[in-house]
Amino acid sequence: MEVLMIVRGIGVACYQQLSDILMEQIENKVFKPGNQLPTEIELSKVYKLNRHTVRQAIERLENEGFVYKMRGKGTFVANNKIPYKISKKVRFTTSILDVGLTPDARLIDSYETTAGRELSDKLDINLADKVTVLEILRFVNKIPFSQTTSYLSFAKFPDLKSHISGSFSLYGLLREQYGVEATRISSTFEVSLAEQSDMDILQIPPRVPLLIITSISKSQHGEIAEYCITKVRGDLCKITVDFDSEGRYLVKKKIVEDDCAAVR
């Protein structure tokens, strides 16, 4: 492969030249979707640039959606953004399978707590009632995609944690073990930048925007089944929201104005 070199003194910043070179290589399939890019050290040696300049070039590619980073693993060429459908019935597993990708879900933490004011209101239970909390990390093609904190009434779903093992579908579990068909009744969208804990769990670097989806689901009997908060990687996803039969929006959007510029 012919290596194009950086030309100084032509009025184009070195990092822009490098990002253009790498962008062209990605478009010409020199680096294919899923391939790992050379490290900053390797690119520095090949193009005779300092690592700060290389890092600027990679950040430009990341901002343009050509690459994504996984902490501790490197920088990878992005596929097209992953389509993710939000609707009353479509679940994560189904949505990802429908676009030909491989979903996975792992329980990374679970515990029980007392409802208190906020959760009692969200789940329509008493203040002192027990709540099961599930921290779920979801993957697409083995790439961390989203992290969900789910809150469920312990009385309605006793011993829920004991039924979870390996890869699982939460709503499939509710259906099979408790006879509950959960349906999303509302979702609120908000944009935020990742905090340190988000970066650790989702294996992302700083400045990656997160799409935070707060949802409530009900059972077929009209009772609240789940309240959950999902943080989706904004650098990987493309959201589609279904309308109901009367053309009404199924979600309420709340975008933080100061963070809008972070979402591409």
Report all structural domains of the chain as residue ranges with CATH numbers, in order of start.
Answer: 14-77 (1.10.10.10), 82-262 (3.40.1410.10)
What does the pLDDT read at residue 244?
A: 59
Considering only 41-50, 52-61, 179-188, 231-240, which range has the smallest mean pLDDT?
231-240
Q: Which run of H or E residues covers position 206?
A: none
- Closest C-alpha among 252, 263, 204, 202 to residue 231: 202
Q: State pLDDT tens for residues 1-48.
A: 556 778 888 888 999 999 999 988 888 889 887 788 999 999 999 989
Give the DSSP letter string of 14-33.
Answer: HHHHHHHHHHHHHHTTSS-T
What does the pLDDT read at residue 71?
A: 74
- Give me 48's structure tokens: 């005779």
Q: How far apart are CA 145 and CA 82, in angstroms?
A: 9
| pLDDT tier for residue 224 given thresholds of 50, 70 and 90 | very high
What does the pLDDT read at residue 234?
A: 84
Q: State pLDDT tens for residues 141-150.
A: 888 999 999 9
Is residue 58 a contact partner of residue 75, using CB atoms and an 8 Å limit? Answer: yes
What does the pLDDT read at residue 9?
A: 83
Q: Does the pLDDT at position 259 exceed 70?
A: no
What does the pLDDT read at residue 69?
A: 79
Tell me the average pLDDT of the chain: 84
pLDDT, mean of residues 100-128 = 93
Q: Does the pLDDT at position 165 exceed 90?
A: no
What does the pLDDT read at residue 229?
A: 96
Is residue 76 a contact partner of residue 37, using CB atoms and an 8 Å limit? Answer: yes
Is residue 246 a contact partner of residue 252, using CB atoms and an 8 Å limit? Answer: no
Q: State pLDDT tens for residues 180-208.
A: 999 999 989 999 988 999 989 998 877 78
Q: Does the pLDDT at position 251 exceed 50?
A: no
Q: What is the pTM of this model?
A: 0.69
What does the pLDDT read at residue 96?
A: 83
pLDDT, mean of residues 118-122 = 95
| pLDDT tier for residue 90 given thresholds of 50, 70 and 90 | low
